[in-house]
Structure 1
Amino acid sequence: MKEIFFDNAFFGIFISLIAFKLGKDIFNKFKLPILNPILVALVIILSIMKIFDIPTSYYNKGGDILGFFIAPATVCLAIPLYKELESLKKHYKIILIGSLVGSITAIVSVLALGKLLHIQDVILLSFVPKSITTPIGIEVSKLLGGIPAITVFAIMVTGITGNIFAPFMLKLFKIENAIAKGLGIGISSHAVGTSKAIEMGEVEGAMSALSIVIAGIITIFIAPIILKIIW
């Protein structure tokens, strides 16, 4: 009986869309950062699968279809980039330097903390691309010898964390420049964080979207080099 209801692509797609819709409704009602729609949706989906003892292979039949659209959806971030094209040209040096420093910091901090906590090497390598967008992060994980499934989880947690805590961290460190806000959010928490940057303003959203692309490209090239130097 379980196979009839759950062992099909429709189940994964349906439960994902419904869970996210409920997550958005809950967030819009209470307006609490911790009630991020993606986080709420994740809790709902995991709870249902646990209660009804549904294998992940059943969910993945639909989840993989939704996952296919991650890369095309990322391209939509070109819209705020186009709107702020002149600003991007004007501040390209700051953007490139900020993206480079941010990418290096993200990688080195993961490796340093992982070694300090004695995390298994393959797991640690899977965490290295945690701050870049999923399609690129998966390929970097494969390149480094990590486990893509763990990388996806790390990217998801990083994005949700950035989305929730970005406003607080900006206030804490008194960061008011729109370009700095966008770059910081995009480099540290990719597309999920960028959705928060877009809420802050067009400049923040454009800078965050641009930093996702730049940080992803930089990480592809520098991650293997950093590993050779300090691994």
Structure 2
Amino acid sequence: MPNNMLPTSGPGRPKDLAKRKAILEAAKALFLSNGYDGSSMDAIAAEAGVSKLTVYSHFTDKEKLFAEAIKSKCEEQLPQLLFELSDEVPVEQALLSIGSGFSELINSRESLELHRVMVTLAAQGSQLSKVFYEAGPEAVLHGMAELLRQADLAGKLRVADPLSAADQFFCLIKGGVNFRLLIGCGEALQGTAAEAHVRDAVNVFLRAYRADTAD
């Protein structure tokens, strides 16, 4: 929710912000465990310890709350700071950090279940899949594209089409593992195996886009 839509004055502001956070945390937990249809606004209000009226006062409807919950979940694993290029952090390390966070996010049990729900809803002609994509995957994709654009301008990488390159990067991180998990064939990579997968994907990406003068 944009900052200009939050309470701007009055003694109740800190309490209101705390309630908003509680509602978001409850929504994330229920949407990811029970799906969209299985999570009512009444249940979310009860989980957050607030009234349903309070939920609606912060988030105008269930679809809006769902979008904000997805955005918040993505930002937990992939905070915006990860997509800011720093002179102190080698570009390879930045890519490894993003790749690790993304891999953990998409291969979590909750994320896999949510993706399956979205596929089912899309087959039914629901617009909720579009809401999900814009709030989560698309926002992450554009954040990555901006980092690659910055890396190109700094001469650390050579990226003619940052958006396309960002798409390629995340596809490399997904690999075949994510698809097998989605259809229930196989288990998520753990520990050193997960780290090696991300490292290999980053190395492939850098071989394609590293500038001759890159660190």
TM-score, normalised to structure 2, is 0.29
Q: Which has the higher helix share?
A: 1
Structure number with greater Rg is 2
TM-score, normalised to structure 1, is 0.28
